[in-house]
Amino acid sequence: MPRNLTFNIFRYNPQDPASVPHMDTFVLGETDSMTLFIALGRIREEQDPSLQFDFCCRAGVCGSCAMVINGRPGLACNTKVKDLPAEITLLPLPFFKLVGDLSVDTGTWFREMYQRVESWVHTERVFDPAQEEERMDNDTANRIYELDRCIECGCCIAACGTARMRKDFLGAAGLNRLARFLIDPRDQRTEREYFELIGNDQGIFGCMGLLACEDVCPKRLPLQDQLGFLRRKMALSVLPWKK
């Protein structure tokens, strides 16, 4: 028997001085294989064309549809309503700047974070298209690939109590990014350069081990492993670098 779903959705348009934050309620009949993204699309088409939310890929790849679903950050496009109760509350991700309703600006935060951690391979090597790049061993390439799967959805930041208290905290996504370059043998940054980035309260010392980041990551990135890895690197810094 298909259920009638009740959606309580946060509404606010910061661009409109007359807008006041409030919740709106919409009722929708459940259909087979309905995702939250499909439900929101139908609400917008059939009931309220002004409803704002973001999406692009609809396949859990672009990270743009993250929101708080019944109290937990997640992706609207890969959340099936059959896994949720009949009453569903949707809020925008906290921490990020609100664009309107369920839409937030994660891009500005991620761009600034990538600039802070200098998210590129630092090397003196001059690119020569005629010369093949030295082959990386498979285990290292797989480890890097695993960490490169971050889709910048912002769920780990929205779920992190430290990030909520400390706006300049790099968060699990930022520390994951640094771990990714730390294990990359092409990156020639020195121990001191890495420690200046992570050895402070904005970096690994700010993390209080709350663990919510890994719990909510829709790509199941091994974020706790990276936080432990960075802590060990700091602790073992007297030993030869990049062991």
Binding site for ligand FES (CB under 6 A): 55-58, 60-65, 75, 77
Residue 120: CB minimum distance to ligand SF4, A:
18
Nearest to residue 88, comparing CAs of 28, 13, 21, 22? 28
Residue 161: CB minimum distance to ligand F3S, A:
6
**Considering CB distances under 5 to 8 angstroms, the limit depending on partner class, which of ligand F3S, ligand SF4, ligand FES, none binds residue 56?**
ligand FES
**Considering CB distances under 5 to 8 angstroms, the limit depending on partner class, which of ligand FES, ligand F3S, ligand SF4, none binds residue 101?**
none
Nearest to residue 185, comparing CAs of 139, 102, 242? 242
Examine residue 160 and tell whether it contacts ligand F3S (CB under 6 A): yes
Examine residue 210 and tell whether it contacts ligand F3S (CB under 6 A): yes
**Region binding ligand F3S by CB under 6 A among candidate stretches 68-76, 85-93, 181-189, 201-209:** 201-209
Nearest to residue 211, comparing CAs of 144, 160, 137? 160
Examine residue 172 and tell whether it contacts ligand F3S (CB under 6 A): yes
Sorted by sequence, the CB contacts under 8 Å of residue 62 that are 6+ apart come out as 55, 56, 151
Amino acid 238 reads V
List interacting residues with ligand F3S (CB under 6 A): 160, 162, 171-172, 207-213, 227
